[in-house]
Amino acid sequence: MSLLNVFNKCETNVQSDGKVAMITGGTSGLGLEAAKYLASRGTKVIITGRRKDKLDNAIEVISKFSRNSNVVGRLVDYGNLTSVRDLATETIAMEPKLDILINNVGAIGVEDKLTPDNLNAMMQVNYFGAFLLTYLLFPLLKLSAPSRVINVSSLASILGHVNPDYMNNVNVYSNFGLYSNAKLANILFAVEMSKRTEGSGVSVYSLDPGLIKTDFFRYLDNVILKKFLNSLLHIFGQTISEAAKAPVYLALDPNVKNYSGKNFRSCSEFGTEWYARDQALNRKLWEKSKELLKISPDEEWDGPKET
């Protein structure tokens, strides 16, 4: 028996005919598998990616697997905030509703430098882009309520450190340290957003999908350590198809409808008390993120608007 049969608790039989879901980073890996599962349950699925050829291929794979032709691909580059804003604008213009948003984009090995948006590149790809997209799409999610947001995080978050005054700096953290910081920030932002949107009908969750059989550590410079860590993943990790059941469970299952703001692992609540403990940090992270992202008065929904 697999040591990872505990993930069977992520099984759900809920159908989702008529629902609309956006999955960022949906052209491969966890995002692609989650898109396949949701489409097979009747969901209209919108996947995002940086390359049209990969989007077209993923749409074909999802449609063939699910026998659902209602699959859409949208281009976005998380290294460019204008691209993220364009995605949000296009989605609001094209979609009368959005029931599910799965923030799945993530990458390790991103260069430790500032982007043209004056943000740390690793933090922008793994955190700021998801924050901005979710913030901009919240009015549509609220209009579509009950709706759900799922931030895909990582167990690496337990090694993360978030100081809003320094999180955007370069040449401070290791590459893996930056990744861990970003994944922790995704959890803290889910906790804080849940508080700020209480009563809206929009539930916000974060999720560690667990160890997955991938070459996740391929960007490490230490060849011996890289081979060792990747071999452990292939021995103890679950398949991507198994891991993808977790975000689908959080997106659809009624058992978690009252658990907004919680963090999950193996489809059970995991460490939420610790992540929610420092309320001042969570508030500061939220406000600093809005400041760095230059949220405009027209985009604002949780603070005073200029008149």
- Of residues 78, 127, 135, 179, which has the active-site annotation? 179
Report the phi/psi class of residue 225: left, alpha or beta, with left for phi > 0 and alpha for psi in -120 to 50.
Answer: alpha
Given a contact cutoff of 8 angstroms between Cβ atoms, the answer to whether 78 and 129 are in contact is yes
Return the H-helix or E-strand segment holding 270: none
179 is catalytic: yes
Residue 189: HSE in the Cβ half-sphere, 13 Å Cα cutoff: 31
Given a contact cutoff of 8 angstroms between Cβ atoms, the answer to whether 210 and 4 are in contact is yes
Residues 6+ away with beta carbon under 8 Å from 96:
none
| Distance, CA of 209 to CA of 244 (rounded, Å) | 8
Strands (E), the chain: 20-23, 44-49, 71-75, 100-103, 147-152, 202-208, 263-265, 268-269
Amino acid residing at 298: D
Residues 6+ away with beta carbon under 8 Å from 15:
41, 42
Active-site positions? 179
